[in-house]
Chains A and B, each alone.
Chain A
Amino acid sequence: MSVMADKLAGVWPEITLGLGACVCMALGLAKASSTRKLTSWVAGLFLLLSGVLAIAGPQPTSGLILPPQMVLYVKLAVVAVGVVLLLVAAQLPSSWRATHRAEEGIEPFDPANVMRGEFFAFFLFSLAGVMLTTTANDLVWLFLSLELVSLPTYVMVATSQDRIRAQESAVKYFFLGALAVAVFLYGFTLIYGATGFTDLSRVQSAAATTTSPLLTLGIVLAIVGISFKIAAVPMHFYTADVYQGAATPVTAFLAFVPKTAGFVAIIILLSMLPQWPTHGPIMWLLWIMAALTMTVGNVMGLLQTSVKRTLAYSSIAHSGYLLVGLLAGPALLTSGGGGSGAIGNGIAAVLFYLVAYALSTIGAFAVLGCVQVDGHEADSFDDISGLSTKHPGLAAVMLVCVLSLVGLPPLLGFIGKIYLFGSAMAHRGENPAFVWLVVVAVLNSAVSAVYYLRIIGACYFGKPSGRTEPQHCPSRRIAALVCGIAVVVMGVAGNRLVTLARESSQLAQPSQQTPAKVVSDELPTDIHGG
């Protein structure tokens, strides 16, 4: 009984989100539309409650693969970013209108077009999936939680807009998703085959004593399959279509939630190995994935005429940057006990950058969602042309968020990139190939500035098109504002967050880890000083 209670102790936030999802579904069936409109508030309430439980609730004493601080960090990040995402999604005005028209009998009822409580139920289920991924201690658990993240998003994409392109993109998303699941499941099978366990701590100890090519192959396949979730090469094909086809709030959701779950899952899988892969096939797989993902994302981003597609390719490119940090791996065992800042700890950099990227990109998508053209959401560069004359506030948020995506100091994205690339440089003693990866990453950042500046150029110097009109959606404006402020404020005073991310990522590796040479202090660590 106490084993069960201990297992439950770690998942109260997820249980809360699951309950919230059920309540949202029930509320969504209410007769009065005023009651149905409460679902977004109820969803927010349960989200905050799960955040409180994550901090103050019972903590598990054992059975976690990731360090408890890291689990807490990811859960809180999910809650915080989830609230912002909820603000972006809260009204989904086009759908509410369609629902209203169906109720009044003006239009025939079409279940695909009306938005009810189940959208928020799926929203909460998916967030619960990310939280469960962090607490996973078994391959079965990891598989189920990754599926819990993805299955609701397929429905969210399909029902997000009453345009046919939403459904088309949902089908593409779903089919590639099903393929990806099969691939990483085969990887999981091989991991089980190599070790004989699905319990991750036992896999860890079994992997420490024997090295088997089957285990390596299993982890390789699992990473390739999970690359669908993080929108990385070779499973990135859906990204542009889905980001463009889904309604903007759902696009913002996809940019954060599956990506976070995917990276957490890869971190869990790599911590199965006796030591972080700095050599060998897994290292080269991640190296090639990172280089290709960045390059494909940025080169394709240059060619787009749609802002949403451009941001989709930017999402691919950012996965590439994140993979650089992932490859660098956890902190070197320094004699100073981690006093040299977060540089050197790739995992902390990844955790930090996930939030930094999420806030920047959600801000940009929220601005897009605040403008509509001919009754549809803004999409092409022409649609946002001259945004600054009509909506200076929205244009300013777009400016700040996009510059953060470029990585311009002193914004949030700059700090994130310094930590990501800096940690790879700090680990160059382990493998000189890391240096080349950083070179590729920096070159890519420079290339990416071209298309990011196109977005800013369209907002500030484009000729205002007469067709744009503001979307009546106050909560989305609030979300845009929150992101804009967060990107600036956290960029300037982000030290606390970085420390939090670093503390949270003291990855528990098995004991054979060899004390590596301290190289991290050659890099400037006090980047906030200036």
Chain B
Amino acid sequence: MQKRIYTLIRDLHLYLGLFCAPFILVFAGSAILFVHSWAAPEGEAASPRTITGVVAPGNLASLAGRARVDALRGVLDRLGVQGEVGFITHMVARHRLLIPVSVPGRETMVEINTETGAATVESRNTGIRDALVKLHKAPGPHLADIRMNWFPMRAWQWFADGTVYLLFFLSFSGIYLWAVLRGERRVGLALIAAGACSFLGIAYAICR
């Protein structure tokens, strides 16, 4: 019985670890980019497109948050712009609507003149580095009311959360698999103690 449990946990550790390996690499690689502020260079911008006859929803000024994003989704679809909508700026007096839309690796700014119905769409490829950083930060704590308004980014949230849950499983199952190996216990315990001391020591020094 115990051997079967051991075999099951070992296999789950292996296969689930292999599945989430690419996600771990993405989070680890992008963390290094963050720590050193290695921001992505400004990407190349495509020539802006101008579209006329764009009609924004009439009740836009009365909408806020997610309702405003949802109301504009149809307009963006007609303009051929898809992605995660960011913070929308509505300058009512100037009849301007600024809608940032992002896909990992590309940013698009849509500007609509609500009076004339003219829209300008300007896209910029920001590259892999920016994609990694964006994915690391998504969904994140900001703009909680509107974020994850595009299905692929909602799916990313499931994968990001799933990676954390799998990491917990992998660490606990890893401890179990190590504990079974009697010959490695002493070194392992010393390393856990060293890791705990360095973690708690640094955290205490920083937070005290």
- The answer on A and B forming one complex is no
B residues near A (Cβ < 8 Å) are none
A residues near B (Cβ < 8 Å) are none
